[in-house]
Amino acid sequence: MQRPLLDHPAFSPCFTPEHRDLRERAGRYFEAPRLREWVAAPGGHLVKSQWQELGRLGFLGISLPRELGGQGLGLLGALILSEATSELGDLGLSLGMHCQTEITGHWLATAHGEGLRDRYLPEMIAGRLVGCACDTEPGGQMESTAVRDGGELVVNARKLYVVNGANADLCFVTLKLDGEMSTLLVEKERPGVRVLKVFDKLGTRAIDSAMIDFAEVRVPAANLALKRGVRQLMHWNKVMTVARFLMCADACFLHGRLLKRILEYGGQRIVDGRSLASWPINRLALARAAADQELMRAGLIDRFEHLERRRNAVAEVAALKWFCVDRTTRFAALCAEMQGGAGYMWDSEFLNAHAQILGLKMAGGSLTTMKAIAGQALAYREELEALS
């Protein structure tokens, strides 16, 4: 049996007693039966009080620096949470927690002024305030705007598929201001903000996804991120790269689990006198999946080292997200097929895994976008190297 990814020697130098403690308590807390409590709540996803419980138990703000109220456990801390939540059987919680800490929490900590940061970040870490990233537009291109009016900005925007959008108190809205891309923090309680719809998703159901409308919402200009235009875009990509890296890990954990379960299933299920897994066509597919699992792990270790050394890893992580998510999606479909008729039934864990991983194809940017980011950035770097 393969040892857990985080037991690989590459991670050992980063482990502190606090990391070990987190791994132990997260492993105990995020057990599959807990999911039933969450999805049984009205709406079928985490509600506000459960976010507060996550905060009380110290599962939010794990990767944020201590001086800002976080636990200072960095990327390894976030990976430990992904490993633990992968046991739940629903990738929603992991996605929601990346959104709360690695996307909106980090964005607030690094892209906004101190006043706003000090007012809201401690509340986010406590789970009393939930953040959401409002980026995707119904029309496929950026139509959201803010215009200046004295010391205020007036926002008109509509955003889709926003993770944590229904629970959120703080909306980080990407929009155009003075002809430049900007991000504005809009408090949900402001007049003119409305949740138009909470989506009924195929997978990742433990967390809500919503459509939010902002109609003539007045916001103080102090809520604007400090970085605009190209700097906003570059910083956004940096923040999203960490979140995408964690999605790679989510996919890899799911893939590893599928491999283990299908080997068990295929070893026991006898078809035409021999085990399903031992038929040559399946042996080939399973061997490929085992090789993919190794490649995913190697990619994660490599990108982890890149990110820990603060190197630019936007292209490398985008390429890895494409690889991990694409291969896991295909493998989940194959596993469901190997399960025969049972793989078509709602209670099939393989079918459920397929529903989960399909969400990661779009979350954090589509796989097509990942290929474009990776291709363009790597080609550009090659050109630069040729010039030097």
Ligand X SMILES: Cc1cc2nc3c(=O)[nH]c(=O)nc-3n(C[C@H](O)[C@H](O)[C@H](O)COP(=O)(O)OP(=O)(O)OC[C@H]3O[C@@H](n4cnc5c(N)ncnc54)[C@H](O)[C@@H]3O)c2cc1C
What does the binding site for ligand X look like in residue numbers (CB under 6 A)? Answer: 99, 133-136, 140, 159, 161-163, 204, 209, 359, 362-363, 365-366, 368-369
Place of tokens 């629970």: 167
Among residues 16 and 369, whose Cβ is nearest to ligand X?
369
Among residues 19 and 244, whose Cβ is nearest to ligand X?
244
**Least Cβ distance, residue 1 to ligand X (angstroms):** 31
Task: Give CA–CA dist 334/115, Å, rounded.
Answer: 51
Would you report the helix, strand and coil content of the chain in percent, each value rounded to 5?
60, 15, 25
In 105-253, DSSP assigns E strands to 131-134, 145-149, 152-163, 170-177, 180-187, 193-198, 209-220
> Tokens standing for 193?
């903000």
The DSSP output letter for 369 is H
Place of tokens 């037991």: 7
> Tokens standing for 127?
């789970």
**Least Cβ distance, residue 358 to ligand X (angstroms):** 8
What distances in angstroms separate CA 361 from CA 75, 136, 300, 301, 313, one per listed residue? 22, 14, 18, 21, 19
Among residues 203 and 299, whose Cβ is nearest to ligand X?
203
Task: Give CA–CA dist 153/146, Å, rounded.
Answer: 6
**Least Cβ distance, residue 135 to ligand X (angstroms):** 3
Among residues 237 and 339, whose Cβ is nearest to ligand X?
237
**Least Cβ distance, residue 66 to ligand X (angstroms):** 27
Among residues 162 and 224, whose Cβ is nearest to ligand X?
162
**Least Cβ distance, residue 162 to ligand X (angstroms):** 4
Task: Give CA–CA dist 142/354, Å, rounded.
Answer: 31
**Least Cβ distance, residue 366 to ligand X (angstroms):** 3
Among residues 112 and 205, whose Cβ is nearest to ligand X?
205
